[in-house]
Structure 1
Amino acid sequence: MKKYIIMGVLLIAGIRGSFGQINSPLPTQPNVVLINVDDLGWADLGFMGSTFYETPNLDQLSTESKVFMHAYAAASNCAPSRATMLTGRYPMSHGIYTVDPADRGNPKTRQLMASPNAKSIPANIYTLGQFFQDNGYRTGVFGKWHVSDDPLDYGFDVNVGGNHRGNPGKDGYFSPYNVNVEAETAGEYLTDRLTNEAISFVKDNKDQRFFLYLPFYTVHSPLQGKPELVEKYKNKKGSEGQHNPVYAAMIESMDQNVGRLLTTLDKLQLSDNTLIVFTSDNGGIRATSYQDPLRAGKGSYYEGGIRVPLLIKWGNQISPGIEDTPVSQLDFFPTFKALISPKAELDLDGDSILALLVDDKLKQRDLFWHFPIYLEAYNPKEDGSRDPLFRTRPGSVILSGQWKLHQYFEDGGLELYDLQTDPSETNNLALSNPKKTQELLEKLEKWRTDFGAPIPTIKNPAYDAAFEKEAKEKVSEL
């Protein structure tokens, strides 16, 4: 798998410099389209090196975009990632650390009581929808919202399909739907329908500025693809960890619909004045699709759980090519602010990455994650986690240059990795490089103090060390 990713990178690198110079200064207040795919892994696209999944429209978009190879979700699963991206604030501000409940897994295997977890963005937290509304934009969300009951309460004028649901439910990708969308035709496919609605929104608002948030439910489980595409991939040879025909069919349908939306923008002559952002809310589920060379997947704070694909295109205003600077989805809100309303006084935790879009440099900074909660294992044999019983246990992470430090609260465990030489996070250097470990630990502790990050300390009375040991032994025997 690793060799294919390298091939993909070389493919993209070949287009650097093949487009015209960017215009300067940048015009202000473009339309903004933010496409957020659910559970799409970093390596699950053709332009990222996959030879099994077919994504011709996104591959083409990558040749016209800044391609961020080290883009990070703000959290490793759906709700906290989305809440953090939509507010530009760390979870300590909005209180959403995970998809409720925060104490997943057998209680006999959890040493600590998980920190409290909010289910919705508080009403007093300013969101991207409100920001765009306040700056004269028409706003619409089409798909998975997942951070409150109704996005209309958070600055969106139009909502199709968005509520507190985190997935389409049983058989939910084909009509009749379980989400709040009425089917137009029998057997209709949800990804197609959401894109139809998004295209209608663009057409209705072509003569005014708009913010289109398109958070597809796909490729989240339940895995359901169009039968003809599933059959196609049944007859195609996959690679190790990337060979699920249903998942491949879902990815191709998503790609087709992104292509339909891009074609609409072109036909309406809106592409030159539309900033397009394409990303995923967190890493992919490893049991479904490997993200090699990255370790683990959704729910983990190893690279496979938080590194995500990211493309940003804006006509000829930003130059296409590879960008290796680490960025976070926390940076989206500050970037939009810098472009659209630079004098607005907003309390945001990320940084504008406009400089990177115009081939300038961004001052090196550290990225942080905090997860005072538990997420149970999906598949102990496939997850690639530190612990076979959990995708993650309570802890924090700092990324500082090429160095990444994990700290776990139950046992005080520390893991230090040099991502430049070890992107798979297999060689823990915490003991062999105590100086770097201590340096990053001090930074991490200061950050937690500065932002009031809760650290769970109350012992779980239901914890049973003997039961936990036996449970781990059973997993090892599988």
Structure 2
Amino acid sequence: MRFPIMLSVAFMMTLCSCKQQTNEKKNTKPNILVINIDDMGWKDVGFMGSEYYETPNIDNLSSLGMVFTNGYASASNCAPSRACLMTGQWTPRHGIYTVSPSTRGKSQHRKLIPTKNTHTLSKRHTIIPEVLRNSGYKTCHAGKWHLSDNPKAYGFDINIGGGHNGLPKSYYPPYINVEMEKGNSEYLTDLIMEKTIAFIDTIQKPFFLYYSPYAVHVPIMPVDSILPKYEKKTPWEGQGNPEYASMVDNLDRNIGLLVSKLKEKQMFDNTLIVFTSDNGGLYGITKQKPLRAGKGSYYEGGIREPFFYVFKDKIKAHTKSDVPITNLDIFPTILEYAGITNTDLALDGNNLSSILESKTEILERSLYWHFPIYLQAYNKSDNENRDPLFRTRPGSVIRKGDWKLHYYFEDKGVELYNVHEDIGERNNLAAVNPEKAKELLMDLEEWWKNTNAPIPQDLNPEYIR
């Protein structure tokens, strides 16, 4: 009789062990990986339609989740977009509107005195890594930070190469303005990934990784081993710079290494992955046809981004959504999947879990952009801006449904587009549809009040008509 009793006890112990493992699996917090590429345009990847750049690893990763065809950055250049992502708040709430200063371009061409720009993110804001670290996460920043001198003062346990600088002075050593310990790799994007993988190898608890490599921001410095492949390729739809293409290709390779490491460590299935870019592609280096303009502009080419979410068993693979979303939505969505509810944060984005899990297909709200400053053009002879002198002049933008309105403070100019029918923003409908223009402008004015958005009004005495 002893053997059956021992067998029964062993069976019960195994059952309890399995039950315990199941409960542990249910209670395990997901890892969080946010991939925020620098200056990657809407069509700079294969999964969005590029026939010039080759991004097989990113394309494959996108296929494992939900791709958003109407994904936006909350600003059209680096620092403000990153501040919005980290705080989950519109630009008027943190005051970072550009890379300092706000008086960019010649003074005689600026009619108004622009709003003063905030250069460093205020510590009064509670940002993603702080909330996650307080909830038991190990937090790591890898690459470009751009919001302060040291991301470790803002909730990151580990900092790999991040500082106040917005770009490296060189992708090859010495990097000059990027502090990095030496490794086996030389090209900066490769070295950042080498250090990132070392972090993954040592992690023993749920992690938050903000992977934001300096690539593919200028300086355009090719990866020599990849360059010949693109020198032989035929340009396509305004994409044909082989040096830039080699940087995109190398970035894709590194993301492939990161995904492989997560799978090797059996972490991939329990990791929420967000992929996006901080603003549009640098017009002239790369184009996003049929989108108009590029980085620094509030036409679609400056703010619409490649954007997807992946989370196995939560987000169905091979899905797409045309719901307009923004990088402001990343913060509240992370909180949902991390199971963090006891916060009093005032976030301007939306939790996207119901969209991601296909419980709903609609998210009714307006999106806003506010840019009360000037940003000079860098190529007067080849641009699609409102005028050749500036990528944008002071103004605000609202998207509501399929409609998008641009408002300019200098001349009270209004542009109205149906971006579903006219994604290239070529046909200004403000004159033929004044009621819709009035509706959106009224919504925009209400938003200014709610966010205390600064409106530049003082005339510049140096302005020459």
Same fold (TM over 0.5): yes
Q: Secondary structure at the match of 1:339?
A: helix
Task: Give 1:253 deviation, angstroms.
Answer: 0.3
> Which residue identity is paired with 1:85?
L
Task: Give 1:182 deviation, angstroms.
Answer: 2.8
Counterparts of 1:299 and 1:29, CA distance in 2: 38
**CA contact under 8 A between 2:69 and 2:307: conserved in structure 1?**
yes
User: TM-score, normalised on structure 2?
Assistant: 0.92
Counterparts of 1:28 and 1:275, CA distance in 2: 13
Task: Give 1:286 deviation, angstroms.
Answer: 1.3
Residue equivalent to 1:353? 352
- Choose from 295, 299, 316 the match for 1:298: 295
**CA contact under 8 A between 2:323 and 2:363: conserved in structure 1?**
no
Q: Pick closer, same or farther for the CA change 1:458–1:209 going to 2, 3 Å.
A: same
Q: Secondary structure at the match of 1:370?
A: strand
Matched, 1:89 2:92: no
**CA contact under 8 A between 2:183 and 2:194: conserved in structure 1?**
no
**CA contact under 8 A between 1:393 and 1:408: conserved in structure 2?**
yes
Which portions of structure 1, spanning 4 or more consecutive aligned residues, are displaced by more than 3 angstroms? none
Deviations 1:196-215 (A, max 9, x none): 1111111111x310000011
Residue equivalent to 2:284? 287
Q: Secondary structure at the match of 1:227?
A: coil
Residue equivalent to 1:471? none
- Farther off after superposition, 330-339 or 449-458: 330-339
Larger radius of gyration: 2
Matched, 1:134 2:131: no
**CA contact under 8 A between 1:133 and 1:155: conserved in structure 2?**
yes
Task: Give 1:382 deviation, angstroms.
Answer: 2.5
Matched, 1:241 2:238: yes
Q: Pick closer, same or farther for the CA change 1:349–1:27 going to 2, 3 Å.
A: farther
Q: Secondary structure at the match of 2:76?
A: coil
- Farther off after superposition, 333-342 or 305-314: 333-342
- Choose from 204, 207, 210 the match for 1:213: 210
**CA contact under 8 A between 1:175 and 1:183: conserved in structure 2?**
no
Counterparts of 2:119 and 2:277, CA distance in 1: 21
Q: Pick closer, same or farther for the CA change 1:412–1:27 going to 2, 3 Å.
A: farther
Residue equivalent to 1:47? 47
Counterparts of 1:369 and 1:422, CA distance in 2: 19
Residue equivalent to 2:342? 343
Residue equivalent to 2:123? 123
Residue equivalent to 2:9? none
Task: Give 1:363 deviation, angstroms.
Answer: 3.0
Sequence identity, in percent?
48
Residue equivalent to 1:253? 250
| Superposition pairs of residues 107-256 of structure 1, within 5 angstroms | 107-169=107-169, 172-178=170-176, 179-185=178-184, 188-205=186-203, 207-256=204-253
Deviations 1:132-179 (A, max 9, x none): 11111000101000011110110000001100000001xx11112220
Task: Give 1:392 deviation, angstroms.
Answer: 0.3
> Which residue identity is paired with 1:338?
E
Coordinate RMSD, CA, aligned:
1.3
Q: Secondary structure at the match of 1:436?
A: helix
Residue equivalent to 1:377? 377
Residue equivalent to 2:427? 427
Deviations 1:42-64 (A, max 9, x none): 00001111111000101111211
Deviations 1:239-259 (A, max 9, x none): 131000001000000000000
Task: Give 1:27 deviation, angstroms.
Answer: 7.2
Counterparts of 2:311 and 2:210, CA distance in 1: 16
Counterparts of 1:183 and 1:103, CA distance in 2: 38
**CA contact under 8 A between 1:67 and 1:323: conserved in structure 2?**
yes
Q: Secondary structure at the match of 2:226?
A: helix
Residue equivalent to 1:309? 306
Counterparts of 2:168 and 2:98, CA distance in 1: 19
> Which residue identity is paired with 1:326?
P
Task: Give 1:316 deviation, angstroms.
Answer: 2.4
Deviations 1:181-222 (A, max 9, x none): 13325x7111111111111111111x3100000111000000
Matched, 1:263 2:257: no
Counterparts of 1:278 and 1:293, CA distance in 2: 22
> Which residue identity is paired with 1:318?
I
Task: Give 1:225 deviation, angstroms.
Answer: 1.6
- Farther off after superposition, 174-183 or 30-39: 174-183
**CA contact under 8 A between 1:69 and 1:323: conserved in structure 2?**
yes
- Farther off after superposition, 231-240 or 409-418: 231-240
Structure 2 residue runs without a partner (length 5+) = 1-25
Counterparts of 1:103 and 1:304, CA distance in 2: 23
Counterparts of 1:316 and 1:334, CA distance in 2: 20
Task: Give 1:380 deviation, angstroms.
Answer: 2.1
Matched, 1:35 2:32: no
Counterparts of 2:359 and 2:241, CA distance in 1: 40
Counterparts of 2:381 and 2:131, CA distance in 1: 44
User: TM-score, normalised on structure 1?
Assistant: 0.90
